[in-house]
Each structure stands twice: as structure tokens, then as C-alpha cells.
Amino acid sequence: MKAVLFDLDGILTDTANYHYQAWKALGAELGIEIDEAFNEQLKGVSRTDSLALILAKDGLEENFSNAEKEALATKKNDVYKKMIEQMSAADILPGIKTLLSDLKAKGILLGLASASQNGPNILEKLGLKDFFDTIVDPAKLAAGKPHPEIFETGAKQLNVSVQECIGIEDAAAGVQSINSAGMAAVAVGDKTTLRAAAKVVASTNELTADLLTAVWAE
């Protein structure tokens, strides 16, 4: 194992609830109800694709021009950015800081493979930016998760092969992306939703350098 590629939302920190609240507020303005079950489909999905899913839910895709859709996505992002302004190291999920330190000490390369264009800003707020050797820019990708491109790009940027990487995710779309890239996936969350992963744990606390090495060696 030469590198570990991390998802952000749901793995390094829990921004999912902020995304949910920001989409819910936009949905309320549009008369579209977004509940927790529907929100599950938006996890790991890009801003543009999330908006498309929300509009399609009530058959409203055709009611908006591309420029209007862009304005709606920007509106959601402005609300989201306000919500994450106060984030700090206190918002790092359990066990993550130790994991990053342990992997670094072993000389393992670390990459961020998040669909979020706010990723670099959030890493900065969490004080985790220096751990990362590379950050994939999701704006430069042709296709988002579940397509493998984001994880393949991460490996490329680190100059390692996909077989030398482990990918860590909390979303089904993300696990599919890791698997399709030809990497081993370790997932955090529900065993049924994430059953496509090589290993599923219930909490980020269970993510250790030893566990990742063992899954990689399988």
C-alpha cells in the first residue's frame, strides 16, 4: 500500500448535515420537499448533479434554463459556505487525525478525492491541509462519482498505480467509484448500503493504518 485516497464529507468531517440544510432551504423556496431519505442520494454527488436530482424529483428540470440552474446552485453554495465558516479542528471526525499521522509516519502518500469544490477550504479550516500530498480538483473532471475518474486521477497525481491505493468512502456512489477504478474500498457507515466495499466499519474510529494495510493485502 503506497497511498490512501480520502473522501471528505462523511470521512474527515461531517459536512453532510450542512449540505442537507442548504439544499432543504433551496428546496423550500422552490416548493420541493427534501427529506433525509432523499438526501442519502445526494451524498458524494456533485453540486450540479445534486440540483438535477432535486429538480427531477418533482419533474421540474425543464422549468429552468441552464443559467437559472447555475444561479440556484450558487445560491445553495452561498448558504453552505456561511454554514461552514465556523468549522475548526474540533470538527474532525474521531480517529482521523491519528490515522493521518500514522499513515504519514509510514511514508504512505495521502490524497483527497472529494466531489466538493469547497474541499481545500475545509481542509484548511480543519488544520489538515499539510497532511495531504495531493488534492483532486473536482471541477476539472469529466464525470463525478460513481465514475472512477476522481480516484484514478488521485492515483495519477501521486504517481502510484491504482493497485497500490486504498480508497475510503461513506457513500455508495463513492464506493462504486473506488471499485471501478480498480482500488480496494474501505467504507464507513451502513453495512447494507455499502456492501460493495471490501471492508465496512461503523465509525471513523475504527479506521487504523493496520486495518487499511490488512484490507490492501487481502
Q: Enter the C-alpha cell of residue 73.
A: 446552485
Minimal distance, residue 201 CB to ligand B16, in Å? 17
58 given a catalytic annotation = no
Whether 7 has a binding-site annotation, put simply, is yes
**Residue closer to ligand B16, measured from CB, 44 or 111:** 44
Backbone angles phi, psi at 23, to 5 degrees: -70, -40
Beta partners for residue 188, in sequence order: 201
Binders of ligand B16 among 95-124, rule CB under 6 A? Answer: 114-118
9 given a catalytic annotation = yes
CB 196 within 8 A of CB 176: yes
List CB contacts of 71: < 8 A, sequence separation 6 or more.
none
Q: Is 7 in the site for ligand B16 (CB under 6 A)?
A: yes
**24, interface contact from ligand B16, Mg ion, none, CB < 5-8 Å by kind:** none
Beta partners for residue 136, in sequence order: none
Whether 170 has a binding-site annotation, put simply, is yes
- Return the closest-CA partner of residue 133 out of 15, 6, 1: 6
Distance CA 194, CA 201 (A): 10
Q: In the set 13, 24, 43, 134, which binds ligand B16 (CB under 6 A)?
A: 43
Q: Name the site residues for ligand B16 (rule: CB under 6 A).
A: 7-10, 19, 42-47, 50, 77, 114-118, 171
Q: Pick out the residues of the known binding site for substrate.
A: 7-9, 23, 42-47, 50, 76, 114-118, 145
